Chain A
Amino acid sequence: MNVFHPLRLLALSALLALSPAAVAAPHSDTRATLQSITRDVARPDVLRGTFVQEKQVAGFRNPLRSEGRFVVARGRGVVWTTLKPFPSEMVVTAERILSRQADGRSRVELDAREQPALRSVNATLFALMSGDVAALSSRFDVDARREGEAWTLSLTPKSPALAKAFSALQLRGDRYVREVEIVETGNDRTRIRFDALSATPATLSAEEAGRFD
């Protein structure tokens, strides 16, 4: 019943670690486009970068802007470190979702032992990273456009449960995902821009690995 949280995470994590090969499209031209995107998108084991996020939230006049950096590691999960306007960190792994505050205190937001859904979410997430076509197409209707290097994917949730959280998602990128836009059902909008993307070194440093624990 509490499907919103994990699915929302799934969508976001999936986008960060995008592998468009997972997308099965209904139209043959879309499928061809998807195949070309799949071919050209890098699939690194570890991806690092910085982000700028702007959120338009109901009740706020101005967008809420935050900045920071992130690490995505195949088989491990995602560490999302916000630096501005104030430091905090969110860690997503197959076992749990953890938040760390500025003072170093951490809190388990969601535990896979209590919400088995998290496990399947992560299983799907990692399946996505390894290019499992069935997983994403079972959750989203996908539309793809491409002009030269740049491409755009529009995802619409298939399941009513997922549709309760998101009305639409959009991804823009080239060799990497460069921008994600999320429209929530309540019309809150989030736009995330990625910069300084780097796939080297291809293994996690000890410091980075420590953040996943």
Chain B
Amino acid sequence: MTDTTPGNATPHRAWRWLALAWLALLLALAVQQALQWRQQAPIDTDILALLPQDATDRLLSDVTRQIADANSRDVVVLLGGADSDAVLEAQAVFARAMASDADAALLQPAGALDGWFDEARAFYAPYRDRLLTPSQRERLRTGNADAFAQQALAQLYGPMGGPRLTGWLQDPLSLWPSWWQQQAKAAGLRLGGDGLLQADDRHWAVLRFDTRDSAFQLDGEPHIGALLDRAGVAASAVAPGLEILHAGVPLHAEAAAVQANREINTIGWGSLAAVLLLVWLAFRSLRPIALVAMSLLVGCGVALAVTVLVFGSVHLLTLVFGASLVGVAEDYGIHWFASRQAAPRANRWSLLRHLLPGLWLALLTSALAYLALAITPFPGLRQMALFSVVGLAAAFITVILWFPWLDGGTIRQTRFSHWLGGTLQRWPRLQGRALWLVVGGLLLVSAGGMLRLHVDDDLRSLQSSPPALMQQQIRISRLLGMPSPAQFFLVQGRDAATLLQREEALTARLRALEGEGRIGSHRALSDWLPSPARQAEDARLVAGVEAQALQAVSAASGETLLRPAFATAPLELSAFLASPASVPFRPLFIGALGEGMASVVLVDDLSRPEALADLENAASSLPGVRWVDRTADFSRLLGHYRTLMSALLLAGIGLVFAAVWWRYRRQAWRVIVPTLLAGTLTMGLLALLGQPLQLFNVLALMLLLGMGIDYGIFLLEHRGDPSAWVAVCVGAASTWLSFGLLGLSDTPALRAFGLTLLLGIGLVWLLSPLFRPAPLPEERLEERKDIA
């Protein structure tokens, strides 16, 4: 502001350079962004991207990420029907329809399990004697040698021969097929002979697909969903009454993108249209509309560019939240035009000088309020904070550097502004008993509401997937026994042997719980790769029992039978991981970690009420085993920050009051009381509406403090000035509208934000004039105008 030469009504040369520098910077940013977006839209849809990268537990974040990434491209389709032949035909038609579709490239069929089974069987064959299920081990340990011999003979002479995966001599007791059978069952592969899954009295065909890279598009169209729907229609045609279920991360991502696209359009364009309409009503000419729109576009554009530069990508929810910025960043432009309208003859450069302190202050308070969001460790909120602060600053800079150059003509007086300015005088002013009655009444309503307040720190407030998709996902998880990626056991050991042994101690406990029906089955590396100690033990056990059985068969058949040789060394982790047999289980292995290595054990079906407590107990007192519940961790974290931010909000109120007191002394209450009343009333009303209190409500109240206080300051600063009131009204109306539109969001967190500010801003706007001071005498008002 010192760049303008006082007294002289022309700009300082530096101001001209700054305006040009700003233009150059914008052009550079635009070029850089155009290049980046052309390569690939840096847009993030992953809900995990919003969760904190906890510095104290970086490990858990990485593990969660690894589990989530393992199936981030999978799409699963289930086709269910009562008649298995119809389902098989529907499956064939579905697959053909997918392959011949114009969008077929979006989803490729994933590898079939058949091939994997053959490879895995060949890989494990030399180690067959080292692999036993717990029940087989128990039977071989306690069983009677004669019974095994008889069993071997019965299978040799019997007509059915028993199930075989090898020659009889390689596995005389048929241990190998029942090992596979149990493994398949535990892995949720309960397939019938026709390859169909049988559950819920239906036959289900399971189709798996992979998305190809960068299939994701932000054009608001559900390409993958539409592709699946078309194939579903074709399949239903051959199998009437076919039930079709879809699940997979890409579908959630696409649903989020479609939803975000719709919300960004509603909020962004809706707010922009409303702001421009208000500007049109107030100023009735094209130039203010064009310039305000320009300041908003520059603000949003720079916000997007800087966010992408800083974070590497921008999250969809940031864009949705950022769309509400339109209703806040318009303030600077409107202040400019309102002042110009109030003093049409004033020199533009003197006017700017007069306006600058107020604008700086407004930017500072709003920016501080937004920055409070960044105190939380949630990257999503930090992105939103950065986006908003940068957007506000860019709009502000555009106004102060460019508007004096571009806004050349005069600003016309309009009937609307005149009328709006006049409403202030008719607005009641509270004094004496009326004041106390109103304040007391409003506090009473708030208190009544707040008695019904309940808190909710559920992580799902960030989740916005359509309920239908969530239900299908849950149903498929149950049918296929898919484990939750956010809840798992983390097992650590200094080497592979220790790690696998620790897993075995854990899975023994889990099997007991499974036997009691308290949890579903589990997925553990050690089920497919036993520890060396266990392998050696089982090989010894099997060798003893089989040698005896072969002896008995030799005696009965009169032949000399020799037990074939098996691998002499145990199956090692490195060999297992390198083989195709481990493909489905590699995500369970975390790899080197600290001094040793780590793996995870996943559990299916946590639907029973005590399941989580059971699992936590299962890990207790086992060395190197830890139960991790990321959902609970994040909910705890949300709760922790809700409390912390509430305390900060109170501190902020104290700070603001001190600042206001320093300037206005005994009038300070007029500034702060409307915002505080609006805040408490908002919380009370939300509670009455049954809305739970979340971190996001508290953060919204923080923003309310930052923005609402401005209205009070403005009314106190410009006592009875109608043009100030016009600026407040237009600004508040557009802010109010933007957050109102944000309140329509399908993401619970953003809706909480929007609703809180919708109520809060509306109330401050209504309440602030009630507490305004008596207007200044007429001549002093005139005096003020002359300054301009």
Contact = CB atoms under 8 A, between A and B. Distances in A.
Interface of A: 1-10, 12, 51, 53, 55, 57-62, 64, 66, 80, 82, 85-86, 88, 90, 92, 97, 99, 101-102, 105, 107, 109, 114-117, 119-121, 134, 160-161, 165, 184, 186, 188, 190, 192
Q: Which of B556, B558, B559 gathers the greatest number of chain A CB atoms within 10 Å?
A: B559
Contacts of B181: 2, 114-115
B142 to A, nearest CB: 14
A88 B169 contact: no
Nearest to A86: B153
CB-CB nearest 8 A-B residue pairs:
A5-B163, A116-B198, A59-B169, A117-B193, A117-B192, A66-B157, A88-B154, A2-B181
Contact of B557 (A4, A5, A64, A80): A64
A6 B117 contact: no
A7 B193 contact: yes
Contacts of B418: none
Contacts of B192: 116-117, 119-120
B177 interface: yes
B158 A3 contact: no
Contacts of A85: 157, 556
Contacts of A55: 156-157, 161
A109 B556 contact: no
Nearest to B559: A60
Nearest to B162: A109
Contacts of B162: 5, 109
Given A61-B559, A92-B160, 7 more contacts: A7-B193, A51-B159, A80-B159, A85-B556, A86-B153, A119-B198, A120-B193
Q: Which of A62, A121, A160, A186 gathers the greatest number of chain B CB atoms within 10 Å?
A: A186
A192 B159 contact: yes
27 contacts: A1-B184, A2-B181, A2-B184, A3-B191, A4-B165, A8-B163, A9-B160, A55-B157, A55-B161, A58-B168, A59-B169, A66-B158, A82-B154, A82-B157, A82-B159, A86-B150, A86-B153, A86-B556, A88-B150, A90-B154, A92-B160, A99-B151, A101-B150, A105-B147, A116-B192, A116-B198, A120-B194
B164 interface: yes
A188 B168 contact: yes
Interface in B43-100: 84-85
Interface string B189-216: 1111110001000000000000000000
Nearest to B113: A1
Given A90-B158, A115-B181, A102 B168 contact: no
A97 B556 CA distance: 25
Nearest to B185: A114
Contacts of B168: 57-59, 188
A120 B84 contact: yes
B180 interface: yes
A9 B157 CA distance: 15
Nearest to A2: B181
Contacts of A82: 154, 157-159
A115 B158 CA distance: 21
A109 B174 CA distance: 11
Contacts of B180: 1-2
B135 to A, nearest CB: 12
Interface in B109-166: 113-114, 117, 147, 150-151, 153-154, 156-166
B692 to A, nearest CB: 44
B435 interface: no
Nearest to A61: B559
Q: Which of B163, B168, B189 gathers the greatest number of chain A CB atoms within 10 Å?
A: B163
Given A80-B158, A88-B154, A59 B167 contact: yes
Interface of B: 84-85, 113-114, 117, 147, 150-151, 153-154, 156-169, 177, 180-181, 184-185, 189-194, 198, 556-559, 561
B557 A60 contact: yes
Nearest to A100: B154
A188 B184 CA distance: 27
A60 B635 CA distance: 66
A92 B158 CA distance: 13
Contacts of A120: 84, 192-194
Contacts of B184: 1-2
Contacts of B194: 117, 120
Contact of B156 (A51, A57, A99, A101): A57
A2 B159 contact: no
Contacts of A161: 114, 193
B158 A2 contact: no
Given A64-B156, A66-B157, A120-B193, A59 B185 contact: no
Q: Which of A7, A99, A184, A188 gathers the greatest number of chain B CB atoms within 10 Å?
A: A99
Nearest to B558: A62
A55 B164 CA distance: 15
Contact of A90 (B147, B150, B160, B167): B160
Contacts of B163: 2, 4-5, 8
Contacts of A66: 157-158
Nearest to A70: B159
Contacts of B156: 55, 57, 64
Contacts of A1: 113, 117, 180, 184, 189, 191
Contact of A5 (B153, B158, B166, B177): B177
A58 B154 CA distance: 17
A57 B147 CA distance: 22
Contact of A12 (B159, B164, B190, B558): B159
A6 B160 CA distance: 10
Contacts of B84: 120
Nearest to A65: B157
Nearest to A114: B185
A51 B159 CA distance: 10
B548 to A, nearest CB: 16
Nearest to A6: B193
A8 B193 CA distance: 11
A119 B192 CA distance: 9
A90 B191 contact: no
A11 to B, nearest CB: 10
Contacts of B198: 116, 119
Contacts of A97: 160
B193 A121 contact: yes
Contacts of B151: 99, 101, 107
Contact of A58 (B114, B157, B167): B167
A100 B165 CA distance: 23
Contacts of A134: 85
A53 B160 CA distance: 11
Contacts of A109: 162
B169 A8 contact: no
Contacts of A188: 167-168
